[in-house]
Structure 1
Amino acid sequence: MARSKDTSKGAGAESSSEPKQKKQRWYHQVWSAYTMTRRSDPAVTWWVLGVFVAVVAVATLVGFLFGGHWISGLIVGVPFGLLGGMFVLTRRAEAAAYQQIEGKPGATRAALGSVRRGGWSFDEEPVAFEARTQDLVFRGVGRAGVLLVAEGPSGRATRLLESEKKRTARVVAGVPITTLECGNGEGQVPLRKLVKTVQKMKPTLTKAEVAEVSKRLRALGGAKLPIPKGIDPTRARPDRKSLRGR
C-alpha cells in the first residue's frame, strides 16, 4: 500500500512539473501587431501618436472652454486617445497583412478566410486551376448563393471564371452565381477590399438551401491540385477585441 501511495505521489509530481503554456496578454498581442506593421509601414508610429495627441488635445481644450475644467478633459481624453490610436493601429495592421500576401498564389483564399458575415464557407483548394499561368478560381457558398473568385490577370482570369461558372450552373440551376476577379486590373477587386465586397452581398437563400447547394457542389468536386499557401490575414492581423484590452 505504501508503495502505491509513493507511486501516485511521484506521478502527481511529474504531472505538476510539466511546463504550462502561458496565456498571451493583450498588450503582447498589441506589441506583436505593432512590430509586424512597422516592418512594412514605418509611419505607423507617427500615425498612432498623432491620433492619440490630437484626441487628448481636443478633449483638454473642450474641458478648458466649458468651465475651465481642463484636468477633467485631460482625464477623459487619455482613454479616448488610446482607443483612437488602437483603431489606427488595427487598420494599418490589416493593410500591412494584405500587403505581405498580395501577389502570392492562394492570397485570394487567405483573404476569403476573413469573411465573417453571410454564412459563407469556402473550399480550401481551388475549383479551377491553370497550370501554365497559375491562374486560380476559388468557390464559396453562402446566403447570397455561389461565389466564384478568380485570381490572375483580367483577360485570362475571365475565361477561366466563365468556364467554371457554366460548369457550376449545370449542378445548381436556379441558384444565384456571382463572379469576382481579385486583382489590381480594371474591373477587378483589390485584395484589401475583397472581404468587404463579399460581406455586402445580399442574402437570397435560407440555411437549408445553403446546405443543399453545398452538398451538390461537393459532389462536383474541384481542381484537386496543391498550391503554395500564403499568409492568412486572420492570423497576421491583430485581434480587435485584444487590441481593446478585452
Structure 2
Amino acid sequence: MAKSRNAAESKAAKAAAQAARKAAARERRTQLWQAFNLQRKQDKRLLPYMIGAFVVIVGIAVTTGVLLGGALTLITSIILGVTLGLLVAFIIFGRRAQKSVYRQAEGQAGAAAWVLDNLRGKWRVSPGVAATGHFDAVHRVLGRPGVILIGEGSTTRVKPLLAQEKKRTARLVGEVPIYDIIVGTGEGEVPLAKLERHLTRLPANITTKQMDTLESRLAALGSRAGAAVLPKGPLPNAGKMRGVQRTVRRK
C-alpha cells in the first residue's frame, strides 16, 4: 500500500514538474514574440537584415549541395542551411534588441545597476553602496580585477561620491587594486552599452579565493542608503528585454 502511494506521489511530482517546464517554455516564447514585435516596430531594418541573412545562408547551402552532387547531400545541405540561417537571424534580433535597450536606457537613473545585474561570469555586485537624493549612485563590483566602483548620474556629484567610497574601501582591501568608473558619454566616461565589455577587459589581479575573503570584509562596509533610493530598472520593459538577452545567451 505504501509503495503504491509513493509511486502515485512520484508520478504526480513528475507530472507537476513537466507542467512547470512547459509553462516556463510557453512564457519564454510569449516573451520573445512580444519583444520581437516591439523591436520590429521600432527598428525598420530588423526584418530586412534577418530575412537577408536567412536567404543568403540558405542560398549558399543549396549551392554547395548542388555542386557537391547527390540527393542526400543536397537535402542535408538544405537542412543545415535552414538551421544555421534561423540561428543567425535570431542572433541578429538579439543583438539589435540589446542595442536598442541600451540606447533607450542611456542616461536614465538605475541603468548602470540594471546592466551590472545582468553581468555574465563570477562577479559579485553590490548595487547602490552610496547614493544621493538625486539618484546619483555608486555600485561596487568585486571580480578577478579587484574592486570596481561604478558611478552613474551627474558627474559633478558622482566624482566626490566615488572618491569617498574609494577611500572607505581602501581601508579594508589593502593592496588590492580599486578601479573607479563613471558611466556616461562624456570624456573619460564609459558608455552604458560598453560597460560589460570594459569590465571583462580589465586584467585579472586576484584569485577566486581572495574574492571570497574580500567579500566578507566589504560586507562590513554595508551601504549608505543607496539601494533603497534607486529605481529597479531604467525602462518599463527592462525586465522583458532582460529575459530576451538571457534567452539569447542560452541559445
Structure 1 length-normalised TM: 0.78
> For each residue in 1:125-180, what CA deviation from the matched residue of structure 2 results, as whole angstroms up to 9, or x when unmatched?
x122232x432111111222101001024444333322321221122221110111
Residues 123 and 140 in structure 1, CA contact (< 8 A), matched pair in contact too: yes
1:51 to 2:59 alignment: no
How far apart in 2 are the matches of 1:28 and 1:71? Answer: 34
Secondary structure of the 1:237 match is helix
How far apart in 2 are the matches of 1:238 and 1:140? Answer: 20
How far apart in 1 are the matches of 2:249 and 2:129? Answer: 34
Q: CA deviation at 1:109?
A: 0.8
Secondary structure of the 1:220 match is coil
Moved more, 187-196 or 152-161: 152-161
How far apart in 1 are the matches of 2:32 and 2:169? Answer: 43
Unaligned runs of 5+ in 2: 1-14
Residues 106 and 229 in structure 1, CA contact (< 8 A), matched pair in contact too: yes
Secondary structure of the 1:174 match is coil
Secondary structure of the 2:202 match is coil
Structure with max Cα Rg: 1
Partner residue, 2:185: 184
Secondary structure of the 1:24 match is helix
Moved more, 231-240 or 141-150: 231-240
Secondary structure of the 1:149 match is strand
Partner residue, 1:202: 203
AA of the residue aligned to 1:239: T
Secondary structure of the 2:220 match is helix
Partner residue, 2:151: 150
Q: CA deviation at 1:52?
A: 0.6
How far apart in 1 are the matches of 2:158 and 2:40? Answer: 34
- Among 87, 94, 102, the alignment partner of 1:90 is 94
1:123 to 2:131 alignment: no
Structure (1 or 2) with the greater helix fraction:
2
Unaligned runs of 5+ in 1: 1-15
Aligned counterparts, 1:2-151, within 5 A: 22-25=23-26, 27-67=29-69, 71-72=74-75, 73-117=77-121, 119-124=122-127, 126-131=128-133, 133-151=134-152
How far apart in 1 are the matches of 2:222 and 2:185? Answer: 29
The percent of aligned pairs where both chains have the same amino acid is 35
Q: CA deviation at 1:31?
A: 1.9
Structure 2 vs 1, CA of residues 109 and 157 (structure 1 numbering), >3 Å: closer, same or farther? same
How far apart in 2 are the matches of 1:34 and 1:150? Answer: 32
